[in-house]
Each structure stands twice: as C-alpha cells, then as structure tokens.
Amino acid sequence: EEKTRSSYEQKLQNTQHSVSKKLLETALAKQSNLIASADVTTTQELLELAEKVGPHVIALKTHIDIISDFDYEKTITPLKALAEKHQFLLMEDRKFADIGNTQELQFTSGVFKITDWADFVTSQVIGGFESLDCFKNVGVVAIIGMSSKGTLTTSSYREEALKVALSHPNVIGAVSQNAIPEEILLFTPGVNLADSGDGKGQQYNTPEHVFKTLHTDFIIVGRGIYKSDNPEQASITYKNEGWKAYLNSLEK
Ligand code: 5IU
C-alpha cells in the first residue's frame, strides 16, 4: 500500500517551533504553499513585487545582498510593513556556510542585520551541528540537496546533512530535491511551469511533480513569477497549481 503524506493540519499538530506553526497556519489560511523568490536587484523592484504577490504567497524569499541600493530604512522598513499588510513571512536565502562564530556575525552585523527582520533563513549544515546554534530567534531551513546540474549534494552527503538538520532544534525544514522525513518541512526550488532549465545549470520540475514524488510542503518560484509580464497573475497561477498538487498528493 502506498503511503500518504501528512496534511498541513496534521503537521501543525505535530510541530513545536513557532515559525513552522506560522508557515503552516498561513498556508491553511491562504490556501497557498507558494514562496516567491524575489531575485531582483533594486529596492523599488523588491517592494513592487512584494506588493503584487504578497496576498498570494506564504513567504517572500530574498537575496538581500543583491539589492544594489540597499538601505535599511528604505528597503527593510517598507518590506516589513508589506509582510505585515499581506501576511507573509520573510525568508532570507543567505545560505550560511561558515563556522558558528562567523555565521553569527554575518547574521547579526554588517549592513543587512538579518537577525532583525528575517522570520527564517537558509543555511548549509557543512559547518556541523554547533554552527547552527546562533540562529536561535529564527527558523533555519537546512540546505540538503540542490537543484542544479552536477551538484555535489550526493546521497551520502544528503544522508549526513539530514542527520544534522533533524537533530538541531533551530531547524524547521530542509531545501531538497529528494523526499525527507516528515518531522521537518520540505521546501523545493527549481519549480517552473514553462521551462525545463535556464542554460546555467538550473533544472526545473512542475508543482505536480514535486508534490507527487517528493511530498514537498512548499514550492519556491523565482523567474516563473518575477520575470513574467504579469507577476501578480503568475503568482495566482502558481498558487493554484501548488494547492491543487498538494490536495492531489493527499490522496492515495
Ligand atoms: N535555489 C535554487 N535551487 C537550490 C537552492 C536554491 O534554485 O537548490 I539550495 C534558489 C535560487 C533562486 C531560486 O533564488 O531558488 C530559484 O529561482 P528560479 O525559479 O528563478 O530558478
């Protein structure tokens, strides 16, 4: 007999972490499992995208270090206001990958002060268990497997990385292109309805595929939304496709 996945309601019952709860509650309230990746390079583009897609996503994923005119007051203050207005979380895709002390400095200092505004962050686990201790006030999404062609996240790497992720109390989830144990949330990028790749190593799957085969929880979509002629409409399409695929994945 084929195993079914747990529903968001069941996962909500079983989770302790406040950020996991907020994500799952937001998913249920908005009937959305979509995270938009805002890989844009100016404050204006970032805020415009957040305003358009905000109502339809559970989180906006940022690469805050690609914003060329970054200014804490002009970039983060209005971004936080939009997150509040449209009820989405802020996911900073920093992919920390150093020793604990350095990650702590990168997380709290510099111009970005990620600790002050991000609800959750991505991190490699290559620095080992204790390297994740500094992310006490946020959720950590551990990078387990990458979507790009030729990635070194082999099955033996993923197995070891998962041990670190599953044992650390700050970890709420994983980024992977493979199924993971259900006690943490699965985030899957490399999702696009129109393309199979980008000519730079990225490999795409459809929402249907990642829910059916990986039992993912949340899809991450970048260019499928922000490069679209109508980003708001595209976010609605991915939201609906993602929700439909989730509901289908609940059936045996
Ligand atoms: N991202 C991936 N694949 C990965 C990891 C992160 O695509 O394995 I880890 C990020 C990179 C980009 C977004 O910010 O997710 C995907 O954007 P596109 O949908 O435009 O390819």
Is 98 considered catalytic here? yes
At residue 120's C-alpha, the angle toward residues 70 and 35, to 5°, is 85
Q: Which of 238, 243, 228, 249 is nearest to 40 (CA)?
A: 228
Give per-residue pLDDT as tens, 135-192: 999 999 999 999 999 999 999 999 999 999 999 999 999 999 999 999 999 999 999 9
Spans in the chain with pLDDT lower than 50: 1
Its pTM surpasses 0.90: yes
pLDDT recorded at residue 197: 97
Bridge partner list, 203: 197
CB atoms under 10 Å from CB of 242, counted, come to: 27
Q: Tell me the pLDDT tens digit for each residue of 61-77.
A: 999 999 999 999 999 99
**Is residue 20 a known part of a binding site?**
no
**Which residue's CA is minimally distant from atom 18 of ligand 1?**
222
Ligand 1 binding residues, C-beta < 6 A: 37, 39, 63, 93, 143, 146-147, 175, 189-190, 192, 202, 220-224
For atom 5 of ligand 1, the residue with the nearest CA is: 146
How close is the Cα of 190 to the center of ligand 1, in Å? 6
| Nearest CA-CA partner of 189 in 240, 239, 148 | 148
What ipTM describes this predicted complex? Answer: 0.99
User: How far apart, in whole angstroms, are the C-alpha atoms of residue 193 and residue 203?
Assistant: 12
- Please tell me the predicted confidence (pLDDT) of residue 1: 45
How remote is the CA of residue 189 from the centroid of ligand 1, in Å? 5
Gyration radius from the chain CA atoms: 17
The pLDDT, as a whole number, for residue 143 is 98
